Structure 1
Amino acid sequence: MLPHWSTFKLLGLKSSLVKCMPVSLYSTTEKGKRTLFKYQNNLPSLPVPSLDQTLTLYKRAIIPFYPLGREDTFYQNYCKVIDNFKEVEGPELQKRLSHFAEGKRNWLSTIWDNYAYLGYREPVSPFVSYFFSHKNLNTEIGKDQLMKSAALSHRVINFMSKIEHETLEPELIKGSPFCMESFKWMFNNCRVPGLPSDTTIKFSPQKNRFMIVISNGYFYKVYHHDLNTGERFSLGQLYASISAVHNNSHQKPRCSNPIGILTASNRDVWATNYKHLCDNPLNKISLEQIQSASFVLCLDDNFPTTIAEKSVDCWYGNGYNRWFDKPVQLFVAKNASSSFLGEHSRMDGTPTLRMNDWIIKQISKMSVTEFHDEKKTAPQYTELVFEVDPFIQSQIQKEKKAFKQVTESLSINVWQFHGFGKEEIKAYGMSPDAFVQMLIQLAYYKYTGTVRPTYESASTRMYFKGRTETCRSVSEESLQFVRDWENTSKSGAEKIASLRSAINSHVRYVKVASKGLGVDRHLLGLTKMLRDGEKIPDIFKNPMYTYSQHWFLSTSQLSSNEFNGYGWSPVVPEGFGLAYMINPHWLHVNITAFKNNPLGLNPDYMAFYLTESIQELKEILSKSVIRAKI
C-alpha cells in the first residue's frame, strides 16, 4: 500500500487534501422562497491570471527556501529560467489556456476535480477524506447512541430538505455571494471507482427517500419518508427504525465479510473489485442502493473517550463499518460520541461544516419529549444482501490487512489551547488566521530549525464553481519573523513588529489567492496545456519547482464551537497534516504524521512547540499592551 505521494508527477506535486477558508454561517430557516442558487447566474467566471503576475509572485514565493535568499546563486539562475519561460514557452501555453477558458465559467473546475481527486488512486481514507468530531452533549439524547443517531438523522434530513427545495440561505461574505454549487453534491451522491479515473454519480432525492445504516458490518436501507404516503418520518419513527436495525444486526455475529472495507482500497484495486461485484445482479442492486441513498449512518460498537480517540474513530475507524465513497457519513459510537467524515471529490469543507454546525446546535436544544409520537408506523427498512464469492472473500481479507498496516503507520496529537482565541487575537489588531499560520511557522522552526513549504487553502467560492487556491504561507517576512523571535538580542517590540509584518504579508497573499490569482492553479493549468511529445519547459524541471510544492505542512482552517475535532492526514511522507480551528476563546490544531517520518518528526513534539510558541506570543503581546497603556 503506497501512500499518496507516490502518484506525484514531474509537473508538480499535488496536495490531495484541499480545504476551504471559513465562511460565515447564515440562517437555514425555510422561508418558502427558492433562494439557495439565486446568485449563481451572476457569479463572475474564474479568471486566467496574467503570466507576468503569476511568475513575479512565484519568484517571490520561493526566496525563503534558498539559503542566501535573493543573493543565492541558485535562486538567481532559476530566475533566469523563469524569465526565459516568460519570453519563450510561456506565452504559447498562456494562449492555449486562454483559448481553453473561452466559453467556460470556470476553466479550472474539471482539471482540478480530476487531477486532485477523481484521478488520484490511493485510498480516500485515510489519505483524502476530512473529518469533524462533534462536541459531547451532556443531555439524555447526547448520551444515548440510538436517540442521538435518530436526532442526527432527523436534522440532517431537515437540512437536506432545505437544499432540495432551495430554501437554504446562500452564503455572503461582506455582501458578496459565494458559489453554492457544491451543495448539490452533498446528498444522494456517491463516488464510483473506475479505471483510469473515478466518477461521481448523482441521484434524484425525490426517488430515493432513504438512508443507509451500517451496523455490525451489515448494510440496511432505512426509509426516512413513508413508502405509502410520501410523508417525512417523525423523529420517533426514525428512532424506531434505527433501533430495529440495531437490534437486527446484533442478533447475528459480526459480519465476517464486511463489504465496506473494500472502499478503503487503492482506487485501482477497488475499481477491479467493484466491477467483479457488479457482475452479480444482486450485488449490483445493493451497490446502487448505497450510491443513491441520501447519506450513510454508521452505528459503531466502540467507546472513544479522549479527543484523539474520537478523532481517529471518524478519521478512519475500524474500516469495516464504513462506506468511504459517500460525501456525508455520520458515526455514532456506543457511548453516543458522534462525528462526520466527508468524501472530498465534489465538496470542500465549508458546506459540510455549515451542516454539521447547524445540526449539533439543533440537537443541543432538543428534548426527549420530541421522540414521543402518536403515529405508530412499523419500521420501514430492508437489509441489503451481498453474495460474496471466494474471490471477494480473499479481497476483503487482503484489504483488512492493508488497512491495518496503513492506519497503524499514522500518528496523531490533538493540541488545544484554552483562554486565547479569535477574540484575543483580534484585540491586538491581527488577523486570527494569519496569526495561527505564524504560530505554526514558529513552532515548526523551533522544532526543526528551518522553514519548509507550507500549504494553506484559500477559498475561491466568489467565482462560479470556485473551490480553492493555494496560499503559500512561507514568505520572506515569515522567515524573518521566526528568526527574529528566536534571536535573544531582539527586543519584544522588534519581535512584535516582525510578527505584524509577517501577518500582513500573509493576509496579502490570501487576498490574492482568493481572487483566483495565486501561483499554483495557474501553473497547473499551464502544464495541462502541454501537448503529447512536447518538450517540458525547464521551469517545471528545476528541483525548486518540485520542492516548493512538496507540502511539508498541509494546513487549513475550519472553525466551529460545536466541534472538538477536525482533521486529515499528512500529504507527504515527511510532513504534518495540520487542521486548525480558531474559536472565540480557544485554539485547536489536529496534528497528524507518519510514524516512520523520514525526518523523524513526531506530532507530540510539534504539539510541545505549539504550546511553547503560543505562551511566548501571548506573554510578549500582553506586555506590549501594558507598556502602551503606561
Structure 2
Amino acid sequence: MHCTALHCTAALHRPRSPPCIACIACIASRRSPAPPAAAAVPHRAPASRTPPGRSGAAAEQRRSSGARRTGSRRRGQRRADSSRRLVSDAAAPRRAAERQRATGGRAERSGAERSGAARAEGRATARSGRGRMSKVVGYEKALFRDHGADFAESKDMEPASQTLYAKQGEVDPLPLPELEHTFELFLQSVKPHVTEAEYRETERKVREFAKEGGLAQELQKRLQALAEERKGSSWFIKMWNEAAYLGYRDSVVWNVTYYLQFKDELASGMASQTRRAARFVYHALAFRDELVSGRLTPDMGKKKAWSNSQYKYMFNASRMPGEDGMDFVRTYAPDVYNHIVVMRKNRFYTFDVQGLSVDDLHYQLERVKRMADREGTDYYPVGVLTAEDRDKWAAKRLLLTELGAEADGRLNAASLERIESSILCVNLEDWSPTTREETGLSLLAGNGRNRFWDKSMQFVFFENGKGGYVGEHAMMDGMTTTRLVNYCLDKVFADPPEVVSGANFSNSLLPEPEPVLFQLSQSAKAAIQEAEATFDAMLASKELSVCMFHGYGKNKIKTFKTSPDAFAQVAIQYAYYKTFGCCRGTYESTQTRTYMHGRTEVTRSVTNESVAFCQAMTSGGVPAKRCLELLRSATSAHSAYTKKASAGTGCDRHLLGLKMMMRDGESAELYSDAGYARSSTWALSTSGLGGELMDGWGFGEVVPHGLGIGYSVQNDKLRFTVSSRHPEQKWATRFTANMEAALQEMQAVVAMGESEGKL
C-alpha cells in the first residue's frame, strides 16, 4: 500500500535507495500512534548546551532565572497570528504546483537527480513571493530554480546583455590534456613519495594503462566525445560537482564549509554587535543590487574575461538535501524575495530589507536581538539538523514536513522555505571569542545550533563585534566569495564616523521582524537531540590553530626573488617536515576560471626540489648559500606546476576523468597502485586567499590523518589557519609553532645565503 502523505514519493525511489526512506514519518506512525505536536515555541536550552567562549555558570544563571517567559498577552497574540498566517500561506504547495503547470512554469532540474519529495515541496512559493511574477532572467516562469551539478544547465541565466556576462562568449572551454602529458606529469609528481622499486612498479602500471590500443586511449576517446558534446562549457564540471560536492554525503560542517574572518575595527566600530552587522549587510545588499541588475563588472584576467557563472548561486540560495544520494542547490527570484533571516539563540526571525538604510537594518536587528533574548535559547534548535550527514538530514527534513496533522507539516515546510529563499542569513551569537583560534572555531563550527548550514552565505557576528562569513562550498569557490567579502570590508572600513557610531537611529514605523516558527513532534525533537549529540562528538575531535606571522610578507618575499605563493607553499612543506619528519601528499587549490565553468585543479606541492630543501634545512651541515639555491629551485618548481594547473593541464582532474569514464568490467592497475594512493592522499589540503582586511580564514582537513591549511600572503604579514582531527596530540598547534620557526629560518637563509654569495 502506497503512502498518500503530501511529500511521500516512495514510488519514485531509485532502485539503489532503501525502501520508503521518504516515508520515515509514516513508518513511525505504523509502529505506534503519532505523538502530539509540540508548541511552536520550545523550551530554552540547559546549561550543558553552552557554546564555546561562554561561561557555563552564566548560562545556568540565565536558564534558572525563571520559567520560560510566555510574554505579554499582546506578544502571545502576535505570535499566534503569525503562526496562523504562516499556516495559511503554507497551504500553497498544491496550488502553486497547479499554477506552474497551467502557466508552463519550470524549475530547472535534471529529473534523475531530484527526489520526488523535494520537487513537491519546491512547488510552494514563500509568502513574500506568492502571486508575484519575476522579471529577472531565468525566473520568468517560476520563482525558483533547482540547479544540479552541471553549470551548463543554467547558461540561460547569463544574458550577454548584462555587463557581468557580456564577455562569457569569449571564454574558452576547459582543455582536455593529452594522455602523454598527464602521465609524465603524474610520474614526476610520484617520485618524492616512493622508493626506486615502487617507482618502477608505478611506471610499469602507467605504461600498461597508456599502451597503444589500451584502455587509457579508449577512455580518452570517450572524454574527447564528451568535450565535443559540451562545447561552450566544461567536460569536467558535472562529474566534479557530483563527486566533490553534491554527491558528498558526510556533514557539510567542517568538511565543506569554510570561514573568512573580518578584521577588527577601532573600538567605535566594535561597540555594537547589531550596528556592525547592519553595516556589513547594507554593503552586501549593495553588491547584490549590482549583481542582480547586471551592472557588476566581470572578473577578468590580464587579457580576457574569466568564467563568472558562480555568482548566480550567491544570494537567495540554499543547498538542498537529496533523498537519492545527490543534493542540489535551489535559488529564488531576487526581485521577489527581498527578506533576510536572522538567527539568535537558535531562533529564526525574518524581515524585508528592500530600501532599508544602515539605521533601519540596525533597528531591525536590535529588535530581533531583544525578541530572542526575551524568549531565551531554543531547547530544540532546528538549524542543527542541517549539520547532519546529508542522507540523515534528507530523512529528518521529511520528518519535519510530514507531521501527523497536515497543517503542522506545512507550517514547517513554509518555515524552511522562508529560510532557504532568504537573501542571506545573519547569525547573532551570544558569546564573545577573543583569540584567533576561538574566533575561527566559533565561525567554522560554533556550537552547531545557531546556524542553518545549507545557506550559501551566513554573516556571523559575536557580542564583542567580531565577525566573519561562513560559506557553503557546493557551487561557489573562495575566489568568488572573497570578492564579496573584500568589497564589504573595503566599504565598512571607509564608513564615515556617523555611520559607524549609529547616531541617527531609525524610526519605529518599520514592520516588526517576524519569528519563523516550527511545530515539533516528539520524533522531531528526538531527531534534533540526536543531531546535537552527533555534532558535539564531531567538534570534540577537532582542533584549530592560527599562525599570524608579522615578520614579513608579500613585499619582502618578492625581494627574495621568489613567488610569494610558492614561498608560502615551500614554507608549509618545511613546517610539515619539521613536525612529522617527512613530506606527504599536498593539495593546493588552483583556480581554472580562465575557462568556461572552470573551478579548480590541483597543484601538487611536494616535489623532488621541495624535499631536497627540507632535508638540507634539517641536516645541520648544508651551507646557507646552498640552502638558498635549493629554496629558489623549490619555489621555481612549484611555480612551474602551478602554471600548468591554472592552464587546466594538471594531472589530477584528467586522471579522475579517465577513471570516471570506465564502464562495468573495466579497470586499471594504476588506480590501486601504492604510488598513486600515496601521492593523491591529501595529508595537507591547502588553499590561499587574499585580502588585507581579512583577519583569517580556514576550513577542515580532508583525511583523518591530515591538516587543512587556509593561508593568506598579505603585504607585510603571512597568516596560516590549521585544522586537524588530533586535538590530544595537538597536531595543528605543533604545526603552527613550526610554521613560525620555518618562516624565520627561511628569511635567515635568504640573508645569509646572499651574503655568502657576495664573498
> 2: CA distance between counterparts of 1:433 and 1:151?
32
> 2: CA distance between counterparts of 1:242 and 1:601?
39
Unmatched segments (≥5 aa) in structure 2: 1-160, 403-408
2:498: which partner in 1? 369
**Higher Rg of the two aligned structures:** 2
Residue 620 of structure 1, aligned match among 749, 752, 755: 749
8 A Cα contact 1:234 1:373, kept in partner: no
Identity %: 30
Q: How does 1:79-90 map to 2 (within 5 A)?
A: 79-87=203-211, 88-90=214-216
Moved more, 535-544 or 454-463: 535-544
> 2: CA distance between counterparts of 1:361 and 1:505?
35
Residue 543 of structure 1 and its aligned partner are, at CA, apart by 2.4
Residue 621 of structure 1 and its aligned partner are, at CA, apart by 1.0
Q: How does 1:156-555 map to 2 (within 5 A)?
A: 156-195=284-323, 196-225=325-354, 232-279=355-402, 280-367=409-496, 369-370=498-499, 371=502, 372=504, 377-531=509-663, 533-555=664-686
Residue 476 of structure 1 and its aligned partner are, at CA, apart by 1.2
8 A Cα contact 2:300 2:306, kept in partner: yes
> 1: CA distance between counterparts of 2:498 and 2:619?
62
Residue 629 of structure 1 and its aligned partner are, at CA, apart by 6.5
1:11-55: CA deviation from partner (whole Å, max 9, x where unpaired): xxxxxxxxxxxxxxxxxxxxxx94222221110000111111101
The number of residues matched between the two structures is 585
1:115: which partner in 2? 243
> 2: CA distance between counterparts of 1:327 and 1:562?
22
1:60: which partner in 2? 188
1:59-108: CA deviation from partner (whole Å, max 9, x where unpaired): 111000113xxxx1221122111011001110001111111122312111
Residue 420 of structure 1 and its aligned partner are, at CA, apart by 0.6
1:416-465: CA deviation from partner (whole Å, max 9, x where unpaired): 11031100000111100000110011111122221110000110000011
1:155: which partner in 2? 283
> 1: CA distance between counterparts of 2:294 and 2:630?
47
Residue 367 of structure 1 and its aligned partner are, at CA, apart by 3.5
**Secondary structure of the equivalent of 1:320?**
coil
> 1: CA distance between counterparts of 2:512 and 2:352?
6
> 1: CA distance between counterparts of 2:642 and 2:509?
53
CA shift in 2, pair 1:396/1:478, >3 Å: same
User: Does 2:273 match 1:141?
Assistant: no
1:106: which partner in 2? 234
> 2: CA distance between counterparts of 1:138 and 1:570?
33
8 A Cα contact 2:315 2:423, kept in partner: yes
8 A Cα contact 1:141 1:367, kept in partner: no
**Secondary structure of the equivalent of 1:172?**
coil
> 2: CA distance between counterparts of 1:445 and 1:36?
44
Residue 197 of structure 2, aligned match among 67, 73, 85: 73
Residue 534 of structure 1 and its aligned partner are, at CA, apart by 1.6
> 1: CA distance between counterparts of 2:560 and 2:512?
56
Moved more, 486-495 or 260-269: 486-495
> 2: CA distance between counterparts of 1:85 and 1:164?
49
8 A Cα contact 1:214 1:296, kept in partner: yes
> 1: CA distance between counterparts of 2:207 and 2:506?
75
> 1: CA distance between counterparts of 2:634 and 2:269?
46
2:723: which partner in 1? 592
8 A Cα contact 1:244 1:379, kept in partner: no
8 A Cα contact 1:78 1:542, kept in partner: yes
> 2: CA distance between counterparts of 1:90 and 1:546?
18
8 A Cα contact 2:625 2:756, kept in partner: no
**Secondary structure of the equivalent of 1:176?**
coil
Unmatched segments (≥5 aa) in structure 1: 1-32, 226-231
Residue 488 of structure 1 and its aligned partner are, at CA, apart by 2.6
Moved more, 536-545 or 512-521: 536-545
CA shift in 2, pair 1:628/1:546, >3 Å: closer
2:33: which partner in 1? none
> 2: CA distance between counterparts of 1:74 and 1:601?
32
What is the letter of the counterpart of residue 481 of structure 2?
A: T
Residue 50 of structure 1, aligned match among 178, 200, 209: 178
> 1: CA distance between counterparts of 2:508 and 2:523?
44
1:304-350: CA deviation from partner (whole Å, max 9, x where unpaired): 11111110111010111100011110111111111111000000101
Residue 580 of structure 1, aligned match among 707, 711, 715: 711
TM-score normalised by structure 1 residue count: 0.90
> 2: CA distance between counterparts of 1:528 and 1:413?
37
8 A Cα contact 1:240 1:379, kept in partner: no
Of structures 1 and 2, the one scoring higher in RCO (CA 8 A, sep 6+) is 1
What is the letter of the counterpart of residue 96 of structure 1?
A: R
> 2: CA distance between counterparts of 1:557 and 1:197?
29
8 A Cα contact 2:367 2:512, kept in partner: no
Q: How does 1:16-31 map to 2 (within 5 A)?
A: none
Moved more, 136-145 or 207-216: 136-145
**Secondary structure of the equivalent of 1:412?**
strand
CA shift in 2, pair 1:619/1:220, >3 Å: same
Residue 491 of structure 1 and its aligned partner are, at CA, apart by 1.2
8 A Cα contact 1:460 1:469, kept in partner: yes
> 2: CA distance between counterparts of 1:99 and 1:248?
59
**Secondary structure of the equivalent of 1:91?**
helix
What is the letter of the counterpart of residue 331 of structure 2?
A: K
2:695: which partner in 1? 564
What is the letter of the counterpart of residue 281 of structure 1?
A: R
Please report the RMSD computed on the Cα atoms of aligned residues, expressed in angstroms. 1.6
TM-score normalised by structure 2 residue count: 0.75
User: Does 2:168 match 1:40?
Assistant: yes
1:236-286: CA deviation from partner (whole Å, max 9, x where unpaired): 111111111111111112111110000110111001011222221111111
CA shift in 2, pair 1:111/1:180, >3 Å: same
Residue 139 of structure 1 and its aligned partner are, at CA, apart by 4.2
**Secondary structure of the equivalent of 1:589?**
strand
Residue 487 of structure 1 and its aligned partner are, at CA, apart by 2.8
Moved more, 506-515 or 365-374: 365-374
**Secondary structure of the equivalent of 1:158?**
helix
Residue 535 of structure 1 and its aligned partner are, at CA, apart by 2.8
What is the letter of the counterpart of residue 304 of structure 2?
A: S
CA shift in 2, pair 1:384/1:55, >3 Å: same
8 A Cα contact 2:170 2:305, kept in partner: no
> 1: CA distance between counterparts of 2:340 and 2:202?
55
8 A Cα contact 1:413 1:604, kept in partner: yes
> 1: CA distance between counterparts of 2:712 and 2:515?
39
Residue 496 of structure 1 and its aligned partner are, at CA, apart by 0.6
8 A Cα contact 2:258 2:698, kept in partner: yes
Moved more, 116-125 or 480-489: 480-489
2:75: which partner in 1? none
> 2: CA distance between counterparts of 1:34 and 1:436?
38
8 A Cα contact 2:624 2:756, kept in partner: no
